[in-house]
Amino acid sequence: RRFPVVIVGAGPAGLTVGNILRAASVDCLVLETESRAFIEQRPRAGVLEEGAVRGLERRGLADTLLRRAQRHTECEFRFDGRRHRFAYTELTGVHHWVYPQQFLVTDLVREYADVRGGEIRFGVRDVELHDVDGDHPSVSYVCPETGRREVVRCDFVAGCDGARGVTRDAIPAGRTRTSRGDYGIGWLALLVEAPPSADSVVFGMHPRGFAGHMPRSADVTRYYLQCPPDDDPENWPEDRVWAELRERLGADGAPPLTEGRLIEKRVLEMHNYVVEPMVSGRLLLAGDAAHLTAPIAAKGMNLALHDAFLLGDALAAHLTKGDSTGLDGYSAACLERVWDYQEFSHWLSEVYHGVSSGDPYRAGTTLARLRRVFASPVAARAFAEQYLGQPATR
């Protein structure tokens, strides 16, 4: 079969590109290795920037989100045993939106497949890309029902298969450069079946290590605990998790933590990469396939959506009107935001981890950074602007 566009990966990036193409009546095929039930339940991110929400809304993809997501106006830093509220919406008029990634993926799959009539194949195996540098690329995969390799010809391949996908590796050697940054730190990522312990996101900077509290929904809360990057989650029985969270998030007047069953416990390594350019021939990368930002600044899903807005619009303009301006500028437009967010993540990583570095000099400069955000209105505004992210490109 033949499709103008084959999209590899049904995450936030791939599904958004697919929805934009279907709205422009461009045929496309989405290939996904997992099942629909699996991707609709896979918990990951939860924070959406206003720019991402507005970008989805403009493309008719935010109806459920706007009804169900929580809007946050403040976050809280805890250090030196005290609570410091940071009211970013008061400063900027802009919110953070909390909407678990699996809810967004569920909305996007339903809209793409059930409403806009897009084709999607779940459970495919051994996806391979062919001739992406020529004019007639194709994608092949092993069909889960028949066990046979199917070949799909296309004009463009959108590589949206995340950090562990295969599309990035299909780029011929020497065409792109991959820059890497590694903070040498791990976070134990926890999901707890319990209501949030505070009304906002909380960041704890403590000599024992960073701890974070992120409300996800009325009955599920995410927590993070800094740990060695090669730590084993089995080293973290429930008692140790709660003792460490209480200690690192403790502050005068802080409400007690609402404990509950741990439903996820995994160690994430805090590392980053950026592939430049994000395009090679007729293969265009988007989201985590092109760049990874450690979850330090909650930027990954937002960057994936911004790439997808640009890529979907650019492919639609090219395929329906012959206008290739968007495609030509795609990589440069995405990378400007990507590097801006990478830099902020770097800055924030020092704020989160400097206090526990064991180096009193780094601890001193970290606390000075934090105090400045609360003492200087200009520093507060600058921080809020980066924390909340850039507006939608269009």
Tokens of 106: 């569920």
Instruction: Tell me if 46 contacts ligand RFL by CB under 6 A.
Output: yes
Q: From residue 206, give the alpha-carbon distance in Å to each of 77, 82, 196, 210.
A: 11, 11, 20, 6
Instruction: Tell me if 12 contacts ligand RFL by CB under 6 A.
Output: yes
Tokens of 95: 């919110």
- Is residue 258 a contact partner of residue 224, using CB atoms and an 8 Å limit? no
**Looking at 51, 62, 101, 341, which residue binds ligand RFL (CB under 6 A)?**
101
Nearer to ligand RFL (CB atom), residue 189 or residue 355: 189
Task: Point out which span in 38-46, 59-67, 113-121, 316-324 binds ligand RFL (CB under 6 A).
Answer: 38-46
Amino acid sitting at position 373: V
- Is residue 268 a contact partner of residue 189, using CB atoms and an 8 Å limit? yes
The neighbouring-strand residues paired with 128 are 140
Collapsing DSSP to helix, strand or coil, 193 comes out as strand
State the Cα–Cα distance between residues 15 and 36, nearest whole angstrom. 12
Residue length of the chain: 394
Nearer to ligand RFL (CB atom), residue 304 or residue 373: 304
Residues contacting 276, CB < 8 A, separation 6+: 176, 177, 178, 179, 331, 335
Closest CA to 268 of 189, 346, 203: 189
State the Cα–Cα distance between residues 375 and 355, nearest whole angstrom. 19
Instruction: Tell me if 165 contacts ligand RFL by CB under 6 A.
Output: yes
H helical segments located in 100-237 = 101-109
Instruction: Tell me if 51 contacts ligand RFL by CB under 6 A.
Output: no
Task: Point out which span in 87-95, 132-140, 164-172, 198-206 binds ligand RFL (CB under 6 A).
Answer: 164-172
- x-or-dash string of contact with ligand RFL, 271-310, rule CB under 6 A: ----------------xx------x--xxxxx-x------
Nearer to ligand RFL (CB atom), residue 17 or residue 257: 17
Tell me the number of residues near ligand RFL by CB under 6 A.
Answer: 35
Return the residues of window 197-236 that contact ligand RFL according to CB under 6 A.
none
| In the complex, least distance from residue 170 CB atom to ligand RFL, rounded to whole angstroms | 10
| In the complex, least distance from residue 334 CB atom to ligand RFL, rounded to whole angstroms | 12
Instruction: Tell me if 11 contacts ligand RFL by CB under 6 A.
Output: yes
Q: Contact positions toward ligand RFL, by CB under 6 A?
A: 8-14, 31-34, 39, 44-47, 101, 127, 160-162, 164-166, 189, 268, 287-288, 295, 298-302, 304
